[in-house]
Structure formats: C-alpha cells, structure tokens
Amino acid sequence: MLLAIDIGNTNIVLGIFDGETLGQSWRLATRHEGTTDELRVLVGRLFEECSLDMKQVSGVVLSSVVPPLTATVTEMVRQAFRQETLTIDAANAGLPIRYHAPEDVGADRLVNGLAALTLYGGAGRPVISVDFGTATTFDVISGAGEYVGGVICPGVEISADALFLRAARLPRVDVRRPDHLIGTSTVASMQSGLFFGYVAMVEGIVARLRDELGGDEPAVCVATGGLAGIIAGETSAIDHVSPDLTLHGLRLAWRQNTEVSHD
C-alpha cells in the first residue's frame, strides 16, 4: 500500500492506495504546533478504525506547503511506518517546469497539474487545474506537458473574512449558494456577492487562460478542493471535478520516481 500525504494550510489530507485505487482517505485540521507523537497516535487510530495494518504500507509520498510540519510528519512516518518519505518538489514532480523560480511553486500545485494532465489531458491539449483551497489556484499545463505557471487568488473564505474584518457594519456570514442573486437582506446580499462573484471570477480567469493558451481545442479545466463541486454546478467553465486530484497526483509522482529508481 502507498500512503499519500498532502499538508496544506488548512488541512492535512492522507490517502491509502492499493495500486491505482484510493481505498481510504482522511482530512485533518492543520495544527502548526502538532507534535510527532500526537500525529503518530492519531494516524494509528485512523488505521485501527478502518482495520488497516500499518505494516502493509510499503511507501510514503508527501507534498507540503507548511515547512515546519514537513519535518514533523516525516519523523512521524519513520516512527509509525518504518519508512522514509518521498517529498515532492520541483525537482521530482514529474513535469518540466517553465516557472522563473521553480522552487517557488507549491508541490500541491505541481501534483495537481500532473494528475489533471495524466487523467484528463491528451492529444496535445493543454490542461488547467483549479484548486479551491485556502487560496484558489489556477495551474496551467501546456499541450507539450510542461508546467507553465498559473494564477493565485484569495480563497472565498479569505474574502468573507476580509469583508467582516474591514467593514464595521457587515456581519460574518457562511459562504453558500443563496436562493436568489438579488439579496433582500445584508446577509443574503453578502452571500450573493461572495458566491456568484466567485463563480464569475472562475469563469473569467478560465476563459482568459484558454484564450492565452490558444490551440485548436480549448484547454481542459479540472477542479478540486472544497467548493469544486458546488462551483462546477454553476458554470460550464469546469469540465471535470476530481475531489482527490492532489492524492492521485502524489501517487503518479511516486510512480514516476520509483520507476526511475528501478531503471
């Protein structure tokens, strides 16, 4: 079994693969002060609850955008699984990178692009992966299979928090789809602006990316992250929704690296 771990600013996501099949996954809140011992106990309980044998894990692959936790999780893996972790970065993500500073690209963005290209690309068609996380990221893979860059926007929750913090008379609201575009109360008006404004932003950026990329066929757009399914239901800009895109990208990066090492 392969254990894939993605450490994000909001969540740590873990997935267990048996071959290409994702058998089980878990989403934990990211705690920057979490210790190796705490994580080891927590992960052990998760495996126990699902009747999984930790000794069956034969490989571990990791992406992280929280450097202080990278070492903590790597040490947890050594203690709990007796394995060394393959940490994905620009050097081993499996994509040629045309970014001015390749080391600046988050590993999650790279594996999202790799998974979108491998699972949904083809025939020289460019691919756009959109990840609705703490930030919303748009990552572009060219028709030649190269990571060429992308767009980073505030996540919708960040936008909602900014409205609450910067406007004294506006309340904190949950981000959800309102029943009507025209709000008839302050809360409904804010929800409409946040939700439909976000949909319009996604549509606009994807359309502009497709125009800039050109080609005989428009780029394929694949979405992942918390709001992916909801946003995709409001727009034709998104072609596919893949909730586990990052985990599959980690699996693919692991496979490429282990095939190279075996060769």
Token digits for 139?
């990552």
- Please report the beta strands in 58-146, taking only residues with DSSP state E, as ranges in sequence order: 59-64, 85-87, 127-132, 135-141
Question: What secondary structure does DSSP assign to 210-226, as a single string?
Answer: HHHH--SSPPEEEEEET
| pLDDT, block means (10 residues), the chain with 263 residues | 94 94 92 90 94 94 94 94 95 92 92 95 90 92 94 85 72 81 88 90 96 90 91 94 96 89 53
Query: In angstroms, rounded to a whole number, what is the distance separating the alpha carbons of residues 49 and 26?
Result: 12
Rg (CA), the chain: 19
Query: What is the predicted pLDDT for the residue at 223?
Result: 96
Query: What is the predicted pLDDT for the residue at 261?
Result: 54
Domain boundaries, the chain: 2-87, 102-249
CATH dotted code for 102-249: 3.30.420.40
Which one of the listed residues 6, 108, 131, 139 is annotated catalytic?
108
Burial class (CB in 10 A: 0-12, 13-18, 19+), 49: exposed
Fold agreement between 2-87 and 102-249: yes
**Cβ–Cβ < 8 Å for 130, 221:** yes
Query: In angstroms, rounded to a whole number, what is the distance separating the alpha carbons of residues 119 and 104?
Result: 25
Query: What is the predicted pLDDT for the residue at 77?
Result: 95
**108 noted as active-site residue:** yes
- Please report the beta strands in the chain, taking only residues with DSSP state E, as ranges in sequence order: 2-7, 11-18, 21-29, 59-64, 85-87, 127-132, 135-141, 147-154, 220-225, 240-241
Query: In angstroms, rounded to a whole number, what is the distance separating the alpha carbons of residues 150 and 138?
Result: 5
**Cβ–Cβ < 8 Å for 113, 74:** no
Hey, what CATH class is 2-87 in? alpha beta
Query: In angstroms, rounded to a whole number, what is the distance separating the alpha carbons of residues 230 and 221?
Result: 15
Residue 155: which residues within 8 A CB-CB, separation 6 or more? 132, 133, 134, 135, 136
Query: What is the predicted pLDDT for the residue at 3?
Result: 97
Query: What is the predicted pLDDT for the residue at 168?
Result: 61
